[in-house]
Structure formats: structure tokens, C-alpha cells
Amino acid sequence: MKIYIRATESISPQLSFGNEGLLADLQVYEANRLSCLEPDYKSLIDPKQIRRMSRVIKMGVASALGCLKKADVEVPDAIITGTAYGCLEDTSSFLTKLVNQNEEMLTPTAFIQSTHNTIGAQIALLLKCHNYNNTYVHRGFSFENALLDAILLLKEQSAENVLVGGVDELTDTSFQILNRFGFFKQAFTNELYNAPSKGSIAGEGASFVLLANQPGNNDNAVLEAVSTFYKPATIEESQEKINRFLLDNDLSPNDIDVVITGRNGDETNDVVYDQLMSGMFRNKTEVCFKHLCGEYPTASSFALWMAASIIKKQKVDKKLIHHGEDVIPQRILIYNHSQGIHHSLMLISGC
Amino acid sequence: MTEVYVAGLGIISAIGTSVNETLSSFEQHRTGIDDIRFLDTIYRGQLPVAEVKLSNDQLSALSGLPENVSRTALLSTVAAKEAWVDAGIGSPSKFRTGFISANSVGGMDKSENFFIDFLKDAGSGDLNDVKHHECGSITELTADSLGISDHISTISTACSSSANAIFMAARLIKHNLLDVVVAGGCDSMAKFTLNGFNTLQILDEEHCKPFDENRRGLNLGEGAGYVVLVSEKVVQQLHKKPYCKLSGYNNANDAYHQTASSPDGTGSYLAMKGALEKAGLQPEDIDYINLHGTGTQNNDHAESTAISRLFSSKVPKMSSTKSFTGHTLGASGAIEAVLSVLAIEKEIIYPNANHTTTMKEFGYTPVKVFLKNQQVKHVLSNSFGFGGNCSSLIFSKI
């Protein structure tokens, strides 16, 4: 059974929202953190509702509604969200008041909106959608686990279409804390991969896809497979897992035209990609995405948005090619890992 | 598609640190709700809660994890290890084994400690205290200690989180993607949640009275529960008979309000109805409902309305075990799943503590005493949460 990517939408540090995705006007930054370029929400969400929503909820809901509109689906059969951090702004707001006011005189709004399922719940609430609704919160697997759930629902015939998204926000507080772990550095985004050193650039985003188990008139691509692997001990083990994934899908590295890698400019992070691109995927075209959206646990959802648009346009914009030839992309492999712990593979091809 | 069997159980809550302790607490009608002993909060002595009666040091010894990690991870690991040993599978590497857990606030008990220093100076606060803030990080501490790595996932849908974890685990087995999954959830007491629920004015200042006409709110609890789900193929290789089957499950959304349930209990009704359909059962086949039954006006009204609608005049025996364990949030679906399985295995039905007055609009009274020698073939377990996330599971005798 084929799974079709009927539509995609993304709010990111790029001009992605409402665009078909080839990033004609790439945004270049010199920064250690990238923030989303947010659309005018008033045209998408009732202004009365907007006032009550925190930024991540607005981004998630707007991206989801934008995706449904493009897919011409009013109410999806399921809504599945992946978010590693959940609603950080509301969480830290409630936590700050709790500490500063010594647990007294607190109000419920921030607490109510702090739960990880708030985005999925708000989408359901706005659509009056009583269907299947789930939220995955497993760090660098959050989006992939959400996709896996969606694929199973479609295969079970429990749903004909499923809205799936990856959403994470970066707040001043989360940036301050993550930065103390030494994850980030100041860099030019267009030079991020030139001289890997310690650290990457922090990012955020909200990217949704509408998956369907029947072809439509204007599908973007086919999602062939998704897989994850956890804490591989060595690079060889990662290579074995990738080979096994391709074999399970009756493919060899030669069947892949473009590899989208999760390179992020960190010297340790990028070693596995260097080895793959000079080994198993030698002579293959490599496209990167984290100089566009920054590093965050559900960044792979932005990569899927990008891959779907590349397949649909049958063209890789030259500006996106990190290494290799200009090819007509028939099949894309996305390989991403988060901190060397969470590795994921997604296979996307033409309809 | 294979059937999905329950081969192992693990549980820790205010009424016991193991399956056996938990069962004897019910039998002796010993609830776990008491004054706050461990949580450092201004509400000590004011709001009763259902804490696990062990310090982090003691939980560390039981779980094998360092005592400075989140209490949520300690609770999680104690229950997951009990479930794993109970299943008698041996090494996880014998099968394609997954671990799917759930929680609502990750390592919040440590994060709130970090914030005290961090708010004074953004350069201070012990980073070890926020290292495991993410929900998924708690899952990994337990998965790593069990040695499970083939599939790792965490679900967070508020109070229905761990029912959804069990649900997803069953589907991965049915699709032949995994053979064995340890599935459940955990949450520890945190100032964040205690204060959050307190601002919503839904905490009972006395012991909660679920499904009572004069109910005043819920008592928060903490704990963890896990089931080991296995395929038919694995059952054939195990030395012991599985407890029962997971025969039905469904997830629906109330789509009414971020925190409140709809007056007609739409989400609850759809969750229960879908689970029955999935199991191929009629309402009259259900012998016992383990209620979500938080004790709030709103939940118990919505849930009882949905039950009336689905079961009409033939309402089965039911009780809310939250009157013993408190509301353990992300753990509750799994703790109650473990209890549902044990109801079938031991032929028992749990009492609903503190119940005195039947709800006028409902007209049914939950079971008030521990019942033995019951015919319990099919149990329905309800878990409903903020965000309208409603899930129901059905366990069936083999």
C-alpha cells in the first residue's frame, strides 16, 4: 500500500509558509539561534482565539490549518503531533511564577496550555474533530514516532487521511539553558558546514504533512518508509542499519538520487554524514537543511517538508545542494540524527 | 494479525511498590491518600495526596538508578523491572523488543529545583537537574536500564497518556513490527502539577469521592505501571500462561474545551464505543469498568453520562481506583490497566472508597467493597485527559 503526501506546510526561519517550498529567497542569518518567520495569523485563526494562544500553539495550529487547506481536507481522520519540548513558554511562565510567588496567587492559563498535547488538542478543538488524536514526545524521535503511528492508521484502514506534524519552539529560557550545555555557536548560516567546530545553531519550527492512503490529483510525493534506531555504538552500526532499511524496502544505495542529511556544523555530529557520503552514498547528491531551520529535536519534519517539495518539483534547487550533481530526483533518503542518540530514516519518492 | 497478550505486570503507587502489595491494600481497604510527606510545598498539611511511601534514596535502591535522577524515572524503573521479570522473557535481545512509556511533565520535579537558582542568575542552577527535563529522557533512563533499544517512544496526552502507550504498543505487535513491548507510564508528584491543579480549583481538600453526588475534586497521586505485551509467537515460547488478551482499544477526542469535558461526554462515549467495536463485544459483555473517575464534578458527570448512553439500563459493576491511588496523571491509564488485568486474573473487583451518596443524575452506585470470586471476563478501562484526549482499553480473559 502506498502512502501519499497530499500536502505540506511549514512555519520555519525561512519563507516557507504558504510557499511551495523551493526556498527561492533563502534567508541567511548570522546568529546562534534562528526564529521562525511567522505568518499573519489573523487570516488563519479567529483573532479571539489567537490572543489566548502562546507562540508555539499559534505556529502549530496555523501550520496544521494551512496544510489541511492545501490538501482540501476539512476534518482529518486523525491528528498526530510530535513535539519534544511541548509548550515551553507556558511551562516556564508557570514555573517562574510558582518560584517567584512561592506557590501563591497563581492563575491557571499557563498551566492549562503547558501540556504537551495542547497543540494537537487545539487543532481538534478548532476543527471540532472527534477523531484519533495523539501526541509523541520522545526527543529526536517525536516526529518519526508520530509518522509511524499515522502510517499504521492508514494501513489498518482506520483512517484515509492523517494530519501529522513536528513542532518545537525555542524560547529565551530554553535557549539560555541549552546554550549552557555547549550545544550552540555563533555562525553564518550559509557557511555552517564549511569548517565544522563544536556546536550548531539553535532552531525551531512547525511543519505538517497530510498523508493519505489513496492517490489524489495533486499529491506531492509518496512516503515509502520511516524507521528509527537508538544509540548506535559505532558509525559502522549506523551504516548497517541504513543498509538494512534500504534492503527492507528492496532498495540499494544506487536507487537513491538525493540524500538529505542532518548535518549541523558540529564536528562530532557531522562525522557520520562525511563517512556515508564518501562511502555508501559516494557520488550521490547531498542536500542539507539545518542551516535553514536550525537544530531542534523535530527538525526532521522540516526536512520532510523540503523533500516533498523537491520531489514534486522534480528539481533540486542548486542553492540547496551541499555536494554532488544536479539530478532529477526520483527518490530521496532523509537521514538525520539528534545528538548521536536518535537516528531516523525517511524514504520519499515520486507518485 | 496476531492477538496481543499480557505476559507481565509491574506497578508502584501510594498503595504498594509491587503487584502483591497493591492487591493486599485493596483487600484490606487501605487507601494511599494521606498528608504530604515528601514533596516540598507550602500545601503540606493542607492538600492530601497519594504519594509513594518511599524516599528517593529508597526508590534508588529498588530501581538501581542513582538517587539524584527524577523521581519519575525512579518510579518508572521500579515498575518496569517488576513487569519485565514477571514476564519471564529473559534477555530483551531474544525478540524485537520495544519500550513505550508515557508521562505528563518529564523530569519536572528536578526542573523546578533548577529554576530556583536559575531565576536568580541565568548562569546558575545545576544542569544535572534539567538534563532529564524532557518526557522522553525519563523513558530512556528506564529503557536503558532494561536494555531495550529496538523501539523507544513516549506519548504525552495528559491523563490518557499511558493508555495510549499501551494502545500503540499493541498495534506495533499486530503489524508484526515488534514481538514484545513493555508499555505503560509514570509521573511523580511535582509542585508544578499540584499548583496547576490547585489553580483549577479541582483538588479535594479531603479524601476524594469519585462518582459520589457530593464529590468535590481529585487527589493527586504518583506512581508507574507497565504491562508486557507479547505476540502469539512469543506466548508459545514462554513458560507461563499469559494473564489475558488486550482485545479492544480506541482513542477519540472530545473537542469541547482545553480542560473541561463536554456535558454529554462525547469523547468518553466514542472512546468506549470504539473499543467495544474493536473487541467485537457488546456493552453487556463487559463485567467491570475501571472508571476514569477522578472525583471532579465535571469528569464524573461526563463519564457517567457517556456510560448511561452506551450501556443504557445494564450498567456493569464499576469503581474508580483513584480513590486509593489518587490521580496519577500520565501513569493512571497504565496503573489502571494493570489493575484491570489483575481483576480478570484474580477474579476480583476493586472497591470505590469514600462513596456515600449515589449520583442523582446517574442512579448507579459503584462497588464499595472488595469483591472476590467474581466472574470477570471483560474489563473496560477508561482514561480521559486535558485536551479532550479520551482513550479506552478492553482486557479479556483467554
- Write the DSSP string, A57-102: HHHHHHHHHHHHHHHT-SS-SEEEEE-SS--HHHHHHHHHHHHHTT
Judged against a pLDDT cut of 90, whether residue A22 lies above it is answered with no
- Residue A218 located in a structural domain: no
Residues A141, B136: C-beta atoms closer than 8 Å? yes
Asked whether residue A36 falls in the same domain as residue A78, the answer is yes
Asked whether residue A242 falls in the same domain as residue A193, the answer is no
Return the C-alpha cell found at B221.
Answer: 497521586
Q: Is B335 helix (H, G, I), strand (E, B) or coil?
A: helix
- The answer to whether B392 and B275 are in contact (CB under 8 A) is yes
Compute the average pLDDT of residues B343-371: 97
Interface A-B: count of C-beta contacts within 8 A? 172
Judged against a pLDDT cut of 90, whether residue A24 lies above it is answered with no
- Residue A126 located in a structural domain: yes
What percent of chain B has a predicted confidence (pLDDT) above 70? Answer: 100
Asked whether residue A260 falls in the same domain as residue A345, the answer is yes
Q: What are phi and psi of A335, to 5 degrees?
A: -120, 120
pLDDT at A23: 66
Q: Is B212 helix (H, G, I), strand (E, B) or coil?
A: strand
- E strands present in A173-283: 187-188, 205-212, 221-230, 258-261
- Residue A233 located in a structural domain: yes
Q: Given CA atoms B147, B152, B158, B160 in this order, what sign does their dihedral have?
A: negative
Residues A117, B389: C-beta atoms closer than 8 Å? yes
Asked whether residue A155 falls in the same domain as residue A244, the answer is no
Using pLDDT thresholds of 50, 70 and 90, give the confidence band for residue B1.
confident
- Rounded CA separation A247/A19 (Å): 35
Domain that holds residue A244: 223-349
Q: What residues of B act catalytically?
A: 159, 292, 327
A349: β partners: A222, A331
Asked whether residue A34 falls in the same domain as residue A176, the answer is yes
- CA dist B46 to B36, B201, B207, Å? 8, 14, 12
- Residue A27 located in a structural domain: yes
Judged against a pLDDT cut of 70, whether residue B25 lies above it is answered with yes
Burial of residue B145 (CB within 10 Å: 0-12, 13-18, 19+) is middle
Asked whether residue A68 falls in the same domain as residue A205, the answer is yes
Q: Which helix (H) or strand (E) holds A47?
A: helix A47-52
- The answer to whether A339 and A266 are in contact (CB under 8 A) is no
Asked whether residue A230 falls in the same domain as residue A280, the answer is yes
- The answer to whether A85 and A136 are in contact (CB under 8 A) is no
Asked whether residue A188 falls in the same domain as residue A247, the answer is no
- CA dist A30 to A124, A182, A267, A292, Å? 38, 18, 19, 12
Q: First vs last Cα of chain B: how many Å apart?
A: 17
List of domains in chain B: 5-237 (3.40.47.10), 246-396 (3.40.47.10)
Point out the domain boundary residue: A179, A212, A245.
A212
Helix A55-71 vs helix A118-127: crossing angle, to nearest 10:
50
- Rounded CA separation A317/A25 (Å): 11
Q: First vs last Cα of chain A: how many Å apart?
A: 12
Residues B199, A230: C-beta atoms closer than 8 Å? no
pLDDT in tens, B31-57: 999 999 999 999 999 999 999 999 999
Judged against a pLDDT cut of 90, whether residue B313 lies above it is answered with no
pLDDT at A25: 85
Which residues of chain B neighbour A227 with C-beta distances below 8 Å? Answer: none
Give which of A270, A213, A252 is closest to A333, Cα–Cα: A252
- Rounded CA separation B126/B186 (Å): 24
Asked whether residue A198 falls in the same domain as residue A260, the answer is no
Which residues of chain A neighbour B116 with C-beta distances below 8 Å? Answer: 99
B370 part of contact set with chain A, CB < 8 Å: no
- E strands present in B295-384: 317-319, 378-384
pLDDT in tens, A96-125: 999 999 999 999 999 999 999 999 999 999
- Rounded CA separation A199/A269 (Å): 9
- The answer to whether B38 and B191 are in contact (CB under 8 A) is no
Compute the average pLDDT of residues A151-171: 97
pTM of the complete model beyond 0.80: yes
The CATH number assigned to the domain holding A234 equals 3.40.47.10
pLDDT in tens, A248-300: 999 999 999 999 999 999 999 999 999 999 999 999 999 999 999 999 999 99
- The answer to whether A13 and A205 are in contact (CB under 8 A) is yes
- Rounded CA separation A289/A243 (Å): 23
Q: Which chain B residue is nearest to residue A117, measuring alpha carbons?
A: B157
- The answer to whether B224 and B65 are in contact (CB under 8 A) is no
Point out the domain boundary residue: A165, A185, A212.
A212
A258: β partners: A285, A332
Residues B152, A102: C-beta atoms closer than 8 Å? no
Name the residue among B157, B171, B253 with its Cβ closest to that of A129: B253
A230 part of contact set with chain B, CB < 8 Å: yes
> Could you give the dihedral angle defined by the CA atoms of residues A198, A37, A9 and A207, in that order, rounded to the nearest 10 degrees?
40
Asked whether residue A152 falls in the same domain as residue A245, the answer is no
Asked whether residue A73 falls in the same domain as residue A179, the answer is yes
Point out the domain boundary residue: A212, A233, A248.
A212
Q: What are phi and psi of B281, to 5 degrees?
A: -115, 160
Asked whether residue A231 falls in the same domain as residue A296, the answer is yes
- Residue A217 located in a structural domain: no
- Rounded CA separation B119/B117 (Å): 6
Total structural domains within chain A: 2
- CA dist B210 to B188, B303, B319, Å? 21, 11, 8
- CA dist A3 to A80, A150, A298, Å? 16, 10, 21
pLDDT in tens, B258-308: 999 999 999 999 999 999 999 999 999 999 999 999 999 999 999 999 999
